[in-house]
Structure 1
Amino acid sequence: MEWDVVEVHTESPLTLSVRFADGTKGQVRFEQSHLTGVFAPLKDPDMFARVRIDHGALTWPGDVDLAPDAMYDAIKAHGEWVLR
């Protein structure tokens, strides 16, 4: 799928750089206010840096993941996806 993530890099403690299968590139930024519930472990910079790609989606240990289609739509439109 065009929205499959094929590359990810940690840019800062709460920012990721991603590239999709169709070549689209952008950033995913987490705001502190979004780091609650299942996302709370990502407050730890070491945990945040453990991001991986699994079947085109970004994942972290503990079954934390992000929907690649929503991420793709936001990055395609704005160059970034800000999770507030």
Structure 2
Amino acid sequence: MNSDVVDVQLIGHLEFTVTFADGLTGRVRMLPSHLYGVFERLKDPEFFKSARVVDGFVSWPGEIDLAPDAMHAAIRERGEWILS
């Protein structure tokens, strides 16, 4: 299994779809309750739009990224990953 993210497409603020190297695709939703600490900057819709794929991770400037293995497991099981 290869859980590296190869593509991210924004749906809206705090929502996007991902495609993994193994072809799996799914949706990620970040609830406002998850946006504290390092993730607090993602509250800004303009900053959120700077999401990109870096070395298999969904990333934002300032070394903010999401764990692709946890994302892959949740999407494989439920079709989406909700961070709350």
TM-score range, shorter chain: over 0.9
Partner of 2:35: 35
Task: State the aligned residue count.
Answer: 84
Q: Deviating runs (4+, > 2 A) in structure 1?
A: none
SS in structure 1 opposite 2:16?
Answer: strand
TM-score by length of 1: 0.96
TM-score by length of 2: 0.96
2:72 pairs with 1:72: yes
AA aligned to 2:14 is: L
AA aligned to 2:37 is: G
Query: Where do 5+ consecutive residues of structure 2 fail to align?
Result: none
Equivalent residue runs for 1:5-84 within 5 Å: 5-84=5-84
AA aligned to 2:5 is: V
Query: Where do 5+ consecutive residues of structure 1 fail to align?
Result: none
- Percent of aligned pairs sharing the same letter: 51
> What is the RMSD of the two structures over their aligned residues, measured on CA atoms?
0.8
